[in-house]
Structure formats: structure tokens, C-alpha cells
Structure 1
Amino acid sequence: MSILVTGGDGYIGWPTALRIATRTDERVIAVDNCARREWVAEVGATSATSVADPETRIEAAREVHGAANLSFVEGDLTDREFVLRLLDTHEPSVVVHTAAQPSAPYSQINGERANFTQHNNMQATRNLLFGLSEQGLTDTHFIETTTTGVYGAPEFPIPEGGATMEHAGEQDEVPFPAMAGSWYHLSKSHDAANLRLAHDQFDMPISDVRTAITYGTEIEETRPDDRLATRFDFDYYFGVVAHRFAAQAVAGYPLTVYGKGEQRKPFVSLEDAVEGLARLALGETADGHTVYNQVTRPIAIVEMAETIREVAAEHELDVEVTHVENPRDEDETHQMEIDNDRYMDVIDEQRATFADGIDDVLETLLAHRETIVSHEDRFLPDALQE
């Protein structure tokens, strides 16, 4: 038996595979088609960190951590025959599924990217679920990172999973409705529905881990050797807002908050995201279908900017926070509330605050300042390019 980590070349998938491999003697197989590298290059961007090829990463993991149980398989999960061979060969007891085209902005470029995103993401998940069923592996714990983006921005507190619906004097527990705001997020809404159906039809243990905006550049296992670094995107399409703000700070630009910036978004550090996935993979498999909100706390955009400014000062960067007219149709004061008790029970406590994560991010970006400055057109908002 073994543990599969799909998306094993990605920002979250690689450090997750590495952490799991250092905590178990079971074989851990990182699986990826390495397409993320191509998507980022396609939009004219690059990772700030130098991303070693999979073979070099595996070699480093064995040299630095003695992780002889970690290996890499290259393949496309949308190819049903590849997935069937993969499952037949390795017979996983756990699948940690982090593989996806993960960018909402990329999915919004045009119809071609929207179609690609939804086909790629949902086809890969369906192939894995049906493959496990057809290979007689329905006891396999299937853990998928979906996204808190499936919830949209409702005015009521967001539950961990379902909600109670009342109508005509009767009530029942129902799945949270798909309120996603992009073709990418909607692909994950469809995935969440398919996970529920797979549990009902195949009696497969499912963990739907709804991942928040993830910040940070290192975990304990990647620090000792540059070959172990995960990728770090800072551009408009693949870099999250906190990372783009940090890139603006390093490049000498003000942090531009749209409007009031009081709306809160869900965040989780890379450390806390990886720890939760590793514990779910290596812990006792919960029966049934379980939803986790993988978030430590919501943070207001303006608070995020001010925190980056304060941490930047510790790195001798003089950064201003400015407010510009909001080009988006959104509630600038929306105070998101999101339940996360179930996920916090998994990780016990928050390991990295937002300030901790940003300190790591700035250290990384400062070490690669030339790369940041040479690609500033890829992350600067329109307000700074006019």
C-alpha cells in the first residue's frame, strides 16, 4: 500500500508530499504532469524561486531527509488509462488530491481557458474516484483540496460543509449551494458535489478540504536546501493577493487597496495547510464524508496591507499603503465569518501567523529582487501602470 499525492509538483502538493514522506515508512508517490510550469510561462510570468525538476527534488529529499520512500511519477490525471495503471500499480490507502488548474484569473481570460480549467479539474477528480471504485479500492481515504471560494461571500456565517434548510415547516441538512465567482471556483464546486456523490455511491471515505487563500514560501522540510523549495508565484494570474502585495513592496511600489478594503477574506499559511493535509493522510480515516474549512482566520484586505507594511519595515523597506478607486463591483465592508472548528481540531493550533508568513515571503522575494523587478508588469495593478 502507498500514499498518492497528486499535484506533487505544485505549491501545496510538493511540500505536502515531502512532509508526509518524512513522517511515515509507507511509500509516498508524488504525481504531476508539471503543467503548472507551462501555464505560468504562458502568461509571461515565472516563479520567484528556482523550481528544481522533480528528479532533483527527489534526490535532495533523500539526501537531506533520508526520504527513500518518496518517488515521483509524471502523468496526466485527465487520461483515464494512466490513472487506472497508476492505481493498479500502487494500490494507495490514501490519495491526497491537490492537482488542479488553480487560478481564478487564468480561468477568466477567455472561453478556451474556462473550458480547459473545468475539464482538467473535474475530469482528473472523476478519473481518480471511478478508478478507485473500479480497482476495488473503496476503502482508500480520498482527500481533496477544493476551495473556500465555493462559498462566495454570503452575509451569514459559513458552516463547515452543509447548512440547514427550512421550507414549508420542514427542515433538512443540505450541501452548501455553489456561490462561486469564477470558472475555476465553480469547477471546485462541481468537484465538491462529485465527492459527495462518490461517497454515496461507492461508500468511500471522503475529506473535502476547502482551502483558503494560502500564504508563505517555506515549511520546515524545505528550508535546509534550495533544491527542496516549492514554487512561489507573484503575478496577477497565479500569485495570491498577499504575495502580489509583497512583490509590490519589494519592487518599491505602494500597496494599493481597492476602496475601503475592509472586506475580509479567508487565509491559511502554507505551514498550516501542509500540516493539516499530512495529519489527515497519516491519521485514522474518518468514516463518511467530511468537510473541513482549511482556514485559520479571515483577514481584512486593509489589515493585510498594513501588516505587510509593518513587516517590510523590519526588512528596511519603506512601504506606503494607498487607497484607490475600486474597479470591482463588491461590498468593501463585507465581514466574512467562517466556521473552522473541525479543521482546527486537526492541526491543534495555528503554527504560522500572517506576519510570520509574510516575513518568510519578503525574505524570499528580497533574495530574488531582480526577478521581481523584471516581471513587475505581471503583478502591478492598473492604478500603478497608468
Structure 2
Amino acid sequence: MSILVTGADGYLGWPTSIRIASRTNERVVLVDNFGRRDWVEEVGAVSATPVADIDTRLDAAEEALGLTNLSFVEGDLTDRAFVNELLQVHEPHTIVHAAAQPSAPYSQINGERANYTQENNMAATRNLVWGLHEHDLSDTHFIETTTTGVYGAPEFPIPEGGATMENGGERDEVPFPAMAGSWYHLSKSHDAANLRLANKQFGIPVSDVRTAIVYGAETDETARDDRLATRFDFDYYFGVVAHRFAAQAVAGYPITVYGRGEQRKPFVALEDAVEGLAQLALGDPDDRPDDVTVYNQVTRAISIVEIGTTIADVAGEFDLGTEVEHFENPREEDETHQMEIENDRYADLIGGQSVSFEDGIRNVLETLVENADTIRAHEDRFLPGVLEDRLADEAN
């Protein structure tokens, strides 16, 4: 028996893998097909922090952290034959499923990427749950990172679980409606529905971890050795808004906020995201859910303009002169939407937020300053067109 972590070469999957391995003597099996590396290269971007190859990472985990219980298997989870062999050989009692094409902007590029995103993400999840059923492993705890993006931007508080519907005087709890705003987010809505069906039909215990926007450059473990660093994307397609704003500050540009920027988005620090997944993976088997348990993996909602002003303030500590500038919003969105999202279950799981947004940004800027040459060499990957147009006008 073992613990299986899919997407283990990724931004969230790698630090989660070594956090879990550092707290157990069980075999932790890492699975990946290195897709994230390929997708980022495809859009002409690069990780700000050098990302070691998997063999170097495993060597560093043993040398720096003393971990001898990690194994790696390369393979594609959309291949049913591979998944069947993986489950037969390793018989996991827990799966942390972090493998997916995770970028909403990438899924919106064209129909080919939209199809790839949905086919890749949903096929991998279906193959895993059907494989568990067909190999008599239906008591395996299935932990999947979906996304808070499945909720969209409703005008009412988002529950941590289902929603209550009333019709004709009768009330019942139903799954939250899929209000996703991208082909990627909708793939995760479909995943959530498929997991509910897998629980109902096969009895697989499911923890649906709805991950917010994750920011941060390192965890306690990855900070121990440069070879253990997780990737840090800062481009438009794979870098989250906080990372892109930080890259603008390091490259000497203003922080670009579209419109008023008062709309709030859910965030969680990398450290707090990793801790929650580790807690679920290593929990008492007697406490694992019988049904589907939803966790809103978020520690706070932050407005876009507050993200920008916080980064600008912290940037001053690094002698980076930048400030927030507002530009006309090319998107159709509510610039004042005040998201409210419940997170009591997740907060209890991790014991409360451990990293403040300011401290997380401080660590991000520290990391990016050390890799400033890489940031500047790829500034065309994160500067919005509206800023490029203004700079061109000023130069003429």
C-alpha cells in the first residue's frame, strides 16, 4: 500500500509530495508526464526559478531532507492501460490528484486548447476512479484539487459544500451549480460531478479540495535546497495575478490594474495549500469521509487593487520603485464584486492561516529579485498589451 500523488512535478504537486513524504514512513509514489513544463514552453514562457529535473529533485530530497520513501513513475493518466498498471502495482490507500492542465487563459486560446484541457483533465480523473473500482480499491481516499473557479462570481456567500434549493415549499441541499467562466474551470466542474457519481456508484471516499488562487515561491521543505525549488510562473497564461504584478515590480514597470479593481478573489499561500493536502493525505483512515466532502482551500479574499498596492508597498523594501496604475478594463466584469466564501472546514484542517499575504509577497519578491535577469528577459510574457501600447507611445 502507498500514497499516490499525481501532478507531482508541478507547482503545487512537488512541494505537497515532499511534505507528505517527510511525515510518513510509507512509500509515496509520484506520478507525472511533465506536461506543465511543455505547456509553459509552448507559450514562450519560463519558470523564474530554475526547476531541476526529477532525478535531481529526488536526490536532493534524500540528501537535504533525508527522504528515502519517494518513488517516481512517468506516465500519462489519460492512458487507461498505464493507470491500470499503476494502481495494480502500487495499490494506493490514498490518492492526491493534482494533475491537470491548470490554466484558464491557456484553455481560452483556441478550440484545440479548450478540447485538450477538458479531455486531458476529465479523462485522467475518470481513469483513476474507474481504475480504483475495477481493481477493488474503492476504499481509497481520493483527494482532488478542483478550483474555486467552479463557483463563478455569485452575488451571495459561497458555501463550503452544497447549496440549499427551495421550490414549491420544499427544501433540499444540492451541489453548487456550475458557474465556471472558462473551459478549464468547467473541466473541474465536470470533475466534481464525476467524483460525486464515483462516490455514489463505487463508494469511493472523496475530498473535493476547491483550490483558490495559490501564490508563493517556496515552502519550508523547498527552501532547504535550491534543487528542491518548485516552479514559479509569472507569464500571462500560467502565472497568477499576484505573481504577474510582482514580476512587473521587479522589471521596473507600474502595476497594472484594470478598471477600479475592487473585485475580490480568493487566495491561499502555497504553504497553506500544501499543508491542507498533507493533512488530508495523512489523516486517520477512520476519519476519512464516507461521501464527498468539499473544502474551500482559501484563507482570505483580496481585491485586485489591494494586491497591487500591497506589492507596491512591499517592493519599497527591496528598493523597487513602482506604483499602481489603473487602465481601462478590456474585460466585461464587475469591478466591485465582493466575493464572500466560507472556509471554516479548511481553516480547521490547517489550524488557520499561517502566512499573511504581506509575508507571502515579501518572499515572492525576494525570490524574483534573485532571478531578475530571467524576469526582464521574458517581460513580453507578462506585460499587458495596454501597458506595452502606452510605453510605445511614450518612446515615439
Instruction: Using the aligned pairs only, state the percent identity.
Output: 74
Query: d(CA) in 2 for partners of 1:244 and 1:46?
Result: 13
Q: Tell me what 2:186 maps to.
A: 186
Q: Tell me what 2:7 maps to.
A: 7
Query: d(CA) in 2 for partners of 1:292 and 1:133?
Result: 24
Q: Alpha-carbon deviations, 1:118-142, whole Å to 9, x = none?
A: 0000000000000011110011000
Which TM-score applies when normalising by structure 1?
0.99
Following TM superposition, by how much is the alpha carbon of 1:244 offset from its aligned partner in structure 2, in angstroms? 0.2
Query: d(CA) in 2 for partners of 1:70 and 1:211?
Result: 25
Q: Alpha-carbon deviations, 1:337-364, whole Å to 9, x = none?
A: 0000010110011111111111111111
1:313 and 2:307 correspond? no
- Mapping 1:1-386, distance limit 5 Å: 1-284=1-284, 285-386=288-389
Query: d(CA) in 2 for partners of 1:146 and 1:370?
Result: 34
Query: d(CA) in 2 for partners of 1:79 and 1:359?
Result: 41
Query: d(CA) in 1 for partners of 2:356 and 2:83?
Result: 38
Query: d(CA) in 2 for partners of 1:289 and 1:108?
Result: 30
Following TM superposition, by how much is the alpha carbon of 1:71 offset from its aligned partner in structure 2, in angstroms? 1.4
Task: Check the 8 A contact 2:93/2:141 in 1, yes or no.
Answer: yes
SS of the aligned residue for 1:143 comes to: strand
Following TM superposition, by how much is the alpha carbon of 1:239 offset from its aligned partner in structure 2, in angstroms? 0.2
Query: d(CA) in 2 for partners of 1:16 and 1:74?
Result: 17
Q: Structure 2 counterpart of 1:279, which letter? A: Q
Consecutive unaligned residues in structure 1, runs of 5 or more: none
Q: Alpha-carbon deviations, 1:213-252, whole Å to 9, x = none?
A: 0000100001111100000000000000000000000000
Q: Alpha-carbon deviations, 1:57-93, whole Å to 9, x = none?
A: 0111011111100111110000000000000000001
Deviates more, 1:280-289 or 1:182-191: 280-289
SS of the aligned residue for 1:385 comes to: helix
Deviates more, 1:358-367 or 1:186-195: 358-367
Query: d(CA) in 1 for partners of 2:70 and 2:322?
Result: 42
Query: d(CA) in 2 for partners of 1:355 and 1:33?
Result: 34
Query: d(CA) in 2 for partners of 1:240 and 1:260?
Result: 19
Task: Check the 8 A contact 2:263/2:337 in 1, yes or no.
Answer: yes
Query: d(CA) in 2 for partners of 1:340 and 1:238?
Result: 25
Query: d(CA) in 1 for partners of 2:272 and 2:247?
Result: 22
SS of the aligned residue for 1:179 comes to: coil
Structure 1 ranges of 4+ moved more than 2 A: none
SS of the aligned residue for 2:223 comes to: coil
Q: Structure 1 counterpart of 2:237, which letter? A: Y
Query: d(CA) in 1 for partners of 2:14 and 2:373?
Result: 25
Query: d(CA) in 2 for partners of 1:140 and 1:55?
Result: 28
Which TM-score applies when normalising by structure 2?
0.97
Count of residue pairs the alignment pairs up: 386
Task: Check the 8 A contact 2:203/2:290 in 1, yes or no.
Answer: no
Query: d(CA) in 1 for partners of 2:289 and 2:221?
Result: 27
Q: Structure 2 counterpart of 1:148, which letter? A: T
Q: Structure 2 counterpart of 1:219, which letter? A: T
Query: d(CA) in 2 for partners of 1:190 and 1:364?
Result: 36
Q: Alpha-carbon deviations, 1:267-325, whole Å to 9, x = none?
A: 00000000000000001223221000000010001111111011111111111111111
Query: d(CA) in 2 for partners of 1:353 and 1:287?
Result: 34
Query: d(CA) in 2 for partners of 1:287 and 1:342?
Result: 16
Deviates more, 1:279-288 or 1:85-94: 279-288
SS of the aligned residue for 1:155 comes to: coil
Query: d(CA) in 2 for partners of 1:317 and 1:345?
Result: 37
Q: Structure 1 counterpart of 2:380, which letter? A: D
Q: Tell me what 2:392 maps to.
A: none
Query: d(CA) in 1 for partners of 2:269 and 2:383?
Result: 23
Query: d(CA) in 1 for partners of 2:55 and 2:136?
Result: 31
Q: Structure 2 counterpart of 1:383, which letter? A: V
Query: d(CA) in 2 for partners of 1:176 and 1:286?
Result: 19
Consecutive unaligned residues in structure 2, runs of 5 or more: 390-396
Deviates more, 1:111-120 or 1:164-173: 164-173
Query: d(CA) in 1 for partners of 2:88 and 2:215?
Result: 36
Query: d(CA) in 2 for partners of 1:162 and 1:188?
Result: 16
* Cα-Cα RMSD: 0.6
SS of the aligned residue for 2:230 comes to: coil
Query: d(CA) in 2 for partners of 1:64 and 1:3?
Result: 22
Query: d(CA) in 2 for partners of 1:280 and 1:13?
Result: 14
Deviates more, 1:78-87 or 1:311-320: 311-320
Query: d(CA) in 1 for partners of 2:161 and 2:195?
Result: 12
Query: d(CA) in 1 for partners of 2:251 and 2:326?
Result: 18
Query: d(CA) in 2 for partners of 1:279 and 1:374?
Result: 39
Query: d(CA) in 2 for partners of 1:54 and 1:226?
Result: 13
Task: Check the 8 A contact 2:315/2:365 in 1, yes or no.
Answer: yes
Task: Check the 8 A contact 2:247/2:375 in 1, yes or no.
Answer: yes
Query: d(CA) in 2 for partners of 1:263 and 1:215?
Result: 18
Q: Structure 2 counterpart of 1:333, which letter? A: T
